[in-house]
Amino acid sequence: MSTALSVNLNKIALIRNSREGNYPDVIAHARTCIEHGANGITVHPRPDQRHIRTGDVRELSSLLLPLGDLEFNVEGNPLAPPRGSYPGFISLVEEVRPDQCTLVPDSDNQLTSDHGFDLTRSADQVAPIIEHLKSLGIRVSLFMDPIEEQIRLAKEVGADRIELYTGPYAAAWGTHQQEEVFQQHYLAAELAMELGLGLNAGHDLNLKNLAMYATIPGLLEVSIGHALTVDAIAMGLSNAVEAYKKILTSA
């Protein structure tokens, strides 16, 4: 079975939020992604609502959840405080009940997620949140670096999956460090399989570096947003989605 493609729509929402109104329409773009082969949609709402807003999450839930063969993945910091009309990440997830919730240890002042959990510090906080979300029938994934100790702790705190942070892999692409970083992820994937953890991956994967990464054993899903949105400017969204799917089905 090929690796699933979940398209992250944050950058579509970011463009929309630069003007008044609803253009581009996030929900319409989600439909286009689905029509051209995406296996799911990912969003990462933040308290400042700089891109995806709470209303988007609710609308996407209404669109996707009745479609049983498509996944709705909501990412975010489970410890983020509410702000303004933002109800708090966990409250929002409790309301919409996505197929998957990916917990990410980012802060408001980060441009984007740039590191995985340090569960030696946060396991006691994260474990009860995972237990609660799983009790609601939501699959839980933790955003992680390819570090053996941390992956073992992810299993201990009850995660169903981990999402390997692929930013360093993308940064090493085309350099003498490429193979070394790839092997770190390869070994992390083997460990996840050994522990019974499902494996996702995401961050800065693109049309150049995805094919190699897709050979990682046990890779169930990749979440791609920024690069796919950039490619859509040149190729069109439908062609971009199809290009990423072709790589994943050929791996």
What pLDDT does 44 receive? Answer: 96
SS3 205: coil
Q: How far apart are CA 67 and CA 61, in angstroms?
A: 10
Is 8 marked within a binding site? yes
User: What average pLDDT score do residues 148-175 get?
Assistant: 98
112 pLDDT higher than 70? no
Is 31 marked within a binding site? no
Is 83 marked within a binding site? no
Buried-state track 168-204, b at ≥16 Cβ within 10 A, e below 16: bbbebbeeeebeebbebbbebbebbeeeebbbbbbbb
SS3 119: helix
69 backbone dihedrals φ, ψ, rounded to 5°: -90, 5
Beta bridge pairs of residue 86:
83
Is 239 marked within a binding site? no
Its pTM stands at 0.95
Q: Tens digits of per-residue pLDDT, 162-212?
A: 999 999 999 999 999 999 999 999 999 999 999 999 999 999 999 999 999
20 counts as catalytic: no
Q: Which of 29, 44, 163, 221 is catalytic?
A: 44
Is 139 marked within a binding site? no
CB 205 within 8 A of CB 222: yes
> Quick one: pLDDT band at residue 156, thresholds 50, 70, 90?
very high
Q: How far apart are CA 130 and CA 232, in angstroms?
A: 35
145 pLDDT higher than 80? yes
> Quick one: pLDDT band at residue 107, thresholds 50, 70, 90?
low
> Quick one: pLDDT band at residue 80, thresholds 50, 70, 90?
confident
For domain 4-250, give the CATH superfamily: Aldolase class I (3.20.20.70)
The percent of residues in the chain predicted with pLDDT above 70, rounded, is 96
Q: What is the DSSP string of 220-250?
A: EEEEE-HHHHHHHHHH-HHHHHHHHHHHHHH
Q: Tens digits of per-residue pLDDT, 44-73?
A: 999 888 999 999 999 999 999 888 899 999
59 counts as catalytic: no
CB 149 within 8 A of CB 196: no
Ordered alpha helix ranges (H), the chain: 10-16, 26-35, 54-64, 89-96, 119-135, 148-156, 167-172, 178-195, 210-213, 226-235, 237-250
The percent of residues in the chain predicted with pLDDT above 90, rounded, is 87
203 counts as catalytic: yes
What pLDDT does 153 receive? Answer: 98
Q: Which of 29, 36, 185, 203 is catalytic?
A: 203
Q: How far apart are CA 200 and CA 151, in angstroms?
A: 13
List the Cα angle 115/92/69 in 5-degree steps.
Answer: 85
Is 51 marked within a binding site? yes
Q: How high does pLDDT run on average in the chain?
A: 94
User: Which pair of tokens denotes residue 19?
Assistant: 């003007």
Is 46 marked within a binding site? yes
User: What average pLDDT score do residues 22-48 get?
Assistant: 97
Is 19 marked within a binding site? yes
Q: Rg of the chain over CA atoms, in angstroms?
A: 17
Q: What is the DSSP string of 157-180?
A: TT-SEEEEE-HHHHHHTTSTTHHH
